Chain A
């Protein structure tokens, strides 16, 4: 789980799944409820949409199938039966398990592609048949059905060397898979390259490339209509093959192959007396079980035999078969016979397996089949059976009954019941020959009146199942493991708690109150010392204060962290927006976003959204030129728009920087005069930066025409107002012809405000937001100069106007008796970019406060930002200097 998008997807998917399943349950009770149908459909539809963002093909396909079914239900083409609901719920559970996998491992569990294909086919099976049978909904189940009936006759057409290789791989314990891939005709247009997809099959042991139909005349051949059929043998696990074909899984059939199916003999017949000697000797050795001796003889004869001969083919297979320490005697026997018979049954298939006849040896296939039936060989170690764990348990129970419980008087009834039970379990799972063998063994047992024959056969079935099932069953086991882990993980899934913002705000307020009440402790300590004369008490209170102070600070930080969001919340939509707007305007813009994980308080991030939109639109519309203009100006036709977010002190800063035409101060001056904002003389006196800052003035727009993007004159002034309301500031920097940078600074959090307390009006306390304060100075009264009614003083060669806070607040001013040495406490503040001196009575300490804006009837009073409670219970009025001055 790396990307935040994925984390959000997981959370959202869980919610949607929950909605869908509860909706489905409601629907089962009341199938006619359209609103619920719509809800369920919408949930699944949304899930499909968002899953498409990721590489979870199996999941998306399954959700898509579910969506199609629900869509049919919604359209009234399909009624929602309990079976269908079961199927849908199963699918939802499966998806839920995958979502858990995604959360924990970042990917789907192994085998997901196969599971998805099966479930998808099952779901699509419910869809009503459309008149147009070529639709994808029809295609999928048809192809999926091919999996079961996959015919593997074509194996014989793979060259013998490859088959021998596969056979040896199988003997070493690798299960073999036959893969048949018939790409859709237009697959070249969707970028598929079927042959080179086959190239990637791991452990490939054979590949056939054929046309699906006879090739047409070269003149009528359409090179871009795929008419290929691809078949392969692989010794790789089924899951990895499915993974490889995940995009075309519905066009692929995969089936396990038993090794003996590969052993199709071919070659020229000849008659050589040597064979007879060999066969005699070989039978002898084989009867003794001297496999290595037999192998030596086989190889010796093989060297003497022409490689194209049928006998050589038989010998090669015999050689391969003898690679295993304990080969199957019946298979050995058939191969030995094949050496001398020349045209003998080429199929060393043991009794347990169905003999598949290759086209070339049709004549002998019938005989081979007959042999199999009549002889009932002891089965090979490889009957390609895969018992389910439950089936195995049932069979073992039957074996137990046969072994111990069988009483002579009850025998006829019991053997019948055992016979039926076992037959039910193995039919369909095992090869037909196995079923036949079981039935024969039961016949024998019934005739003999003892369970011995049946028991022996059952042992064989169970024993062989154990060996063979291993590889094939590995998938099942893996799945069982996976579901087990899924189950474990479900015990403690990482949950995201969605909380109403108001609750967090309440917490925030409460912690604020606590910080304030904590501040009463130092007062209390002082009181204990001064009033009650207990120093020790005072010290203890201070100790406790230190602890509570630390805890409350940590708590405050923790609650603030809850509210912190990365600015990417806002920035995420810009790539799309910039692309669309740039296209519309015919401009070429490359957007670069930096520092998107910079975090800030939720409110701040939300405040950023609209101003940023204005600024980016402005840049695209007015700042960045068309490619032609840019080329004419000698710039790269692709412009670069950078949105950069970073933290600077306790401020979060967002810069939007373009390399466009910049703002021309001369134009701004002219526009200001034309709009009557100021006279020409004053406009001429403005510095370039001041002129540029005029774009922040209300009702100012220099764009020649009003476009639908920007330029209606409600641009930058709205930006400034919004940002300032949130306690931030906007700065604009522009160089004509080079580009423009707009910089928005906002406090990281609006929750805590740092203020400096000052005393004015004869002992009243006021708070002044720290961000306005430039410095504090004390100047002698003699340095205060009066210019008409206004006072001012010189601070480092700059004339700074001087205002008295008492006067601003309407408090009577203390009298002054002309002592020129008396100093004034002057707070130098920066308001709207200009320095102003504010005369106060005394400076007091700075502190962090939780600012509470006025509400009720007080909210109309100007000049105040709000109030805060002080530690000693007094109310601190915080001034809004911009309104006041």
Chain B
């Protein structure tokens, strides 16, 4: 799994707080922010530092702490 997909997956899971129905809504919310969510999840979008930065900014907007992801990994 590439880094971008890892970050995106983590944001979706954390924001959804275990609610799988919410995961779909959150994916669509992230898409509305300008991210090709499907492309990343289907690994059609290669790792890209600019995209990772964008996802980190979204994590901050969602109040998702990406440091927890580092701890898990």
Is chain B found bound to chain A in the same assembly? no
A interface residues with partner B (beta carbon < 8 Å): none
